[in-house]
Amino acid sequence: MQNEISSSTKKLLLIIMITGTFFSTLNQTLLNVAFSDLMVVFDVNTARIQWLATGFMLVNGVLVPIMAYLMKRFSTRQLFISSLLFLLIGSIIAACANNFGVLLTGRMVQAVGAGIIIPLMMTVIVYLYPAEKRGAIMGNIGFAIIFAPAIAPTLAGFILEYLSWRWLFIMMIPFVAVIIILARKYLVNVAETSKVKLDIVSVIYSTIGFGFLLFGFSSAGSRGWDDLIVLLSIVVGFLVTILFCHRQIKATDPLLNLNVFKFNVFTMTTVVNIAITILMYADLILLPIYLHDGKGFTALEAGLLLLPGAIINAMLSPVTGKLFDKFGAKPLFILGTGLIAISMLAVIDLSPETTTVYILVRTILLRIGLAFITMPLNTAALNALPRELASHGSSINNTIRQLAGAIGTAVIMTIYTIQLSYVSLESTTGYISAASNTYFYMFVISLIAFIVTWFTPKKSS
């Protein structure tokens, strides 16, 4: 297949897919800084507004496990264009929302598109390029997957400052429409389709298992860990996920082939990926909270502070991809996790005297670290697998990322809430102290990731 598609066609296909992935990924975190405004607009409380994030994660988490089947059953063009149509339709519904139910419906429709596009992109890379060239290509994809959520707070802050919240969705519509038109004209199919049979029982298990786990952990922040619904959701989700895994091990044609974990490099990168995802998602929530409550920043000011790190991240991603192809995974992993650990250590002792410049430099350091590890992690994981397991490896990677994001955010925000109960909130000092204490636990997670990376083989292919 790699020889059948010309170099120019590959480049065009990648440009279209990377652009589509950028807007899909941007959409995932664009709404986070708008929650306070939307609570006022639709007269809903924190528990309900969080469904805009929880619901998105639920749909993603439920859909991603069946992506390996979908990529066998449907063509690249069908899946890619379908994902963008869901994103387009969801954006239109949300932009026209006159109540919270309609807004949530639009958000859930958007999530279907997001759940398809990233695992599809990863699998396409495996089919198009040999292992020794994937690092550079993955680095270019990193622009979409890493830069988009990093720049989202700045963009959303600007829109909320000068325009209506509806423009968070309206602005997506023309861009997505143009990408659909280009995809219909230029996108080619990468792999052959086949009429494989869908294991309905496995779909039911994965939907209940991953869905309940994501709901339970995502709801823990607003409901509390002692809430009966939260506890039951996590227990049911955990037990059904065990049933799902058992069925996949026994099946001759599993929905998700868990044999990918027989490859040591894939397993190791998965462990590191969990830690890095927890840190990335938690920092995207905790840092703006600290800037707002501890420093008095507006949404736009917080977004602008995050912008330089996001830009540097985007610029470095293609560079780290080429370095991966040249030197392998290990040196990049060590450098990346080392910088992330330093960036977490730098904020475990915040005070009212901590300057904005200090936070800016620290955030840039974090983003440099993420650039050296995020996409190289995915590349190393997929390079460790034979091509026939690529779609399964990609689906598993993305399922675990969704779970890690939900679980990590819930745990970190719970720690932050507990820390708040120990301090005085009569001044900003209490909020600063709570953030510092929470970052200590994040530093421990980063240290674990740093240690694990030392066991990576020198070459990952």
Q: Taking residues 93-115, report their average pLDDT.
A: 90
Among 29-33, 184-188, 227-231, 315-319, the range with the most confident prediction by mean pLDDT is 227-231
Q: How far apart are CA 443 and CA 12, in angstroms?
A: 41
- At 306 the pLDDT is 81
% of the chain with per-residue pLDDT over 70: 94
Q: How far is CA 373 from CA 156, 337, 380, 402, in A?
A: 26, 7, 10, 18
Say which CATH topology domain 7-198+255-453 has: Growth Hormone; Chain: A; (1.20.1250)
Q: Taking residues 274-297, report their average pLDDT.
A: 84
Q: How far apart are CA 127 and CA 117, in angstroms?
A: 16
Which pLDDT tens digit goes with each residue over 47-67?
677 778 777 777 877 777 777
Q: Taking residues 203-210, report their average pLDDT.
A: 86
**Could you give phi then psi for residue 166, rounded to 5 degrees?**
-60, -25
Which pLDDT tens digit goes with each residue over 414-443?
788 778 777 776 667 888 888 898 999 999
What DSSP string runs through 199-255?
-HHHHHHHHHHHHHHHHHHHHHHHH-TT-HHHHHHHHHHHHHHHHHHHHHHH-SS-S
- Decide: 255 and 202 in contact? Cβ < 8 Å: yes
Mean pLDDT of the chain, nearest integer: 82
Name 409's Cβ contacts closer than 8 Å, sequence gap at least 6.
217, 218, 221, 278, 281, 282, 285
Question: What is the gyration radius of the CA atoms in the chain, in angstroms?
Answer: 21
pTM of this structure: 0.77
Residue ranges of the domains in the chain?
7-198+255-453, 199-254
2 — pLDDT class (breaks 50, 70, 90): very low
Which amino acid type is present at position 77? R
Q: Taking residues 86-103, report their average pLDDT.
A: 92
